[in-house]
């Protein structure tokens, strides 16, 4: 199970981490979502009152793009079956989803949104 970048799920060891700029801050207005791709993997960016949260881009329950879903307070509701996730921890709050969304630390530097991702495949829960 994925749990944050840089942690190898198998060995639990910290492997190398890379910092990837994925978008400009102005592309993700407060209260909106924006989907980006890194190495072909969908990643969802959400601007919650100025803080950027980044999670895997597809639902952990059924393959479905989360940017088609709804922002409900500080949580994200998938449009497909209304699973709901905490955007900070990725925790699944409402069924049918049980697995959390993988989350990736995001920082803003010089107007750019930078994600901390592990080297190698990007962890996604499904």
Partner 1 sequence: MTLTQRQMVDNDRSRFDFKDEIVYLTETKRGLTRDTVEEISAIKEEPEWMLKFRLRAYEHFLKRPMPVWTDGLDRINFDKIMYYRKPSEREEKSWDDVPDQIKATFERLGIPEAERKFLAGVGAQYDSEVVYHSVKEELSKLGVVFMGTDQALKEYPDIFKKYFATVVPPEDNKFSALNSAVWSGGSFVYVPKGVEVPLPLQAYFRINGENTGQFERTLIVVDEGAKVHYIEGCTAPIYATDSLHVAVVEVVALANSNVRYTTIQNWSNDVYNLVTKRAHAYENSRVEWIDANTGSRKTVKYPSIYLRGRGASADIISVAVAGKGQHQDTGAKAIHLAPDTKSRIVSKSVSKDGGRATYRGHLKVAPGATGVVARVRCDALMLDDESRSDTYPYIDIQEDDTTMTHEATVGKISQDQIFYLMSRGLTENEAQNLVVQGFLEVFTKELPMEYAIEFNRLVKMEMEGALG
Partner 2 sequence: MADALKLPFAGEEIVRRVSAGNSDPDWLLADRLAGLAAYTELPIETNPLFTLYVDLRAARWAELDPYLETGDAAYVSEVVPEGAAALIEIAEDRVVARGLSAEAREAGVVLDTFANVMRDRPQLVKGLVDGAAHLPDSDKFAQFARSHYALGLLIHVPRNVVLERPIVVRWSAGRPGRALVSRSVIHIGENAHARILEEQVPSEAHDAASEAQSMWWGTSEVSLDQGAQLSFAGQQDFGAHTLVFINRHATLGQDAQLRWALASVGGELHKSRIDNRLVGRGSGVNQAEIVFGDGRQLADLTSYTRHIGHDTTGDLLSKGVFIDRARGYFKGMITIDRSAKGTDSFLGEFAMLLTKQARSVTIPSLEIDQPDVRRASHSSSVGPIDEDEIFYLMSRGIPRDVARKFIVMGFLEPVVARIPLAPAQDRLRARLEEKWPQAQASTQKAA
Tokens of 52: 């950027």
Write the Ramachandran bin of 114: left for phi over 0, alpha for psi from -120 to 50, otherwise beta. beta
Q: How many angstroms separate the CA atoms of 111 and 23, rounded?
A: 9
The CA-CA-CA angle for residues 105, 111, 117, to 5°, reads: 25
Question: To the nearest whole angstrom, how small is the minimum distance from the Cβ of residue 98 to partner 2?
Answer: 7
Map residues 78-97 to x or -, x wherever contact with partner 1 holds by CB under 8 A.
-xxxx-x---------x---
Question: To the nearest whole angstrom, how small is the minimum distance from the Cβ of residue 67 to partner 1?
Answer: 12
Residues 1-60 that bind partner 1 (CB under 8 A): none
109: contact with partner 1 by CB under 8 A = no
Binding residues for partner 2, rule: CB under 8 A, are 73, 95-96, 98
**What is the DSSP-derived secondary structure letter of residue 46?**
E
Helical H segments across the chain, by residue range: none
Query: CB-wise, 25 or 82, nearer to partner 1?
Result: 82
70: contact with partner 1 by CB under 8 A = yes
Give me the residues that bind partner 1 (CB under 8 A), please.
62-64, 68, 70-75, 77, 79-82, 84, 94
């Amino acid at each position: 199970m994925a749990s944050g970048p840089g942690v190898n799920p198998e060995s639990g060891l910290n492997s190398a981490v890379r910092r990837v700029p994925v978008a400009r801050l102005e592309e993700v207005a407060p209260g909106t979502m924006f989907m980006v791709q890194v190495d072909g993997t969908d990643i969802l960016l959400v601007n919650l009152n100025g803080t950027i949260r980044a999670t895997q881009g597809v639902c952990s329950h059924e393959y479905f793009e989360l940017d088609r879903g709804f922002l409900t307070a500080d949580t994200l509701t998938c449009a497909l079956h209304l699973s709901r996730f905490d955007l900070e921890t990725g925790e699944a709050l409402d069924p049918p989803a049980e697995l959390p969304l993988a989350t990736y630390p995001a920082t803003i530097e010089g107007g750019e949104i930078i994600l901390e991702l592990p080297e190698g495949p990007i962890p996604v829960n499904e």
